[in-house]
Amino acid sequence: MSHIHEGGCLCGAVRYQVTGTPEVASICHCRYCQLRSGSTFGVSVYFSQDQVQLGNGAVKTHHLTTASGRAFDTRFCTNCGTTVWWTIGTRPDSIGISGGTFDPPTFWYAIDREVFTRSSASFVCIESPEHFDTHPAFNPIHRDPARLMGESELKTVADTD
C-alpha cells in the first residue's frame, strides 16, 4: 500500500496530495528560500510529478531566474499567500513541496541534505547526512541583485551627495 500525505495552505483553499516517498528532502539556506519562506531556511520536499495531485485552489506563480540561469517558479495561494509548491530548473521532472504545509503529522519525512550552508543563520544547527556550502548544481552565470547577496541597495542622503 502506498503512503498518501495531504497538505495545503494556511487558509485551506489550496490543497495537494502526494503518494509514496520523496525523491529528496532538503533544508535550503539560500537567499531565495529565505525570502520565499520568510524564515532562516526553506524545507524542500521533492516528488516526481506523477506522485503529486494538485487541487483546484487558486494559485499565483512568481517566476525567478536563478544566478545559475535556471527557472524557479513558486506557486502560492492567492488568498493567504502561503508558498505551497514550486518547480525548479535543477529538478525539471519534480515538484517541490514546502515541508511545513503537510497536514499532521507534518514532518513525516527524513531530511537527506542541507544546501547553501554558506548563508545559514549562525544559530541554526541541523543534522543531515549531507551538507553543501552551495548546491551541487550551483554554477552562476550572472550576479544576483545586491538585496539577494546580503548587500544593501539603500542609499543614504550622504551617499548621494
Domain edges within the chain: 4-160
Q: What is the pLDDT of residues 13-43, one digit of tens each?
A: 999 999 999 999 999 998 888 999 999 999 9
Report pLDDT digits (tens) over 70-112: 899 999 999 999 999 999 998 999 999 999 999 999 899 999 9
User: Is the pTM value of this prediction over 0.85?
Assistant: no
User: What is the secondary structure of 10-69 as a DSSP string?
Assistant: SSSSSEEEEES--SEEEEE-SHHHHHHHTSS-EEEEEEEGGGEEE-S--EEEEEEE-TTS
CATH ID of 4-160, from 2.170.150.70, 2.60.40.3080, 3.40.50.11270, 2.60.40.790: 2.170.150.70
Integer CA distances (angstroms), 77 to 5, 64, 139, in order: 19, 17, 31
Pick from 32-41, 53-62, 107-116, 148-157: least confident: 148-157
DSSP β-ladder status, 15-19 and 52-54: antiparallel
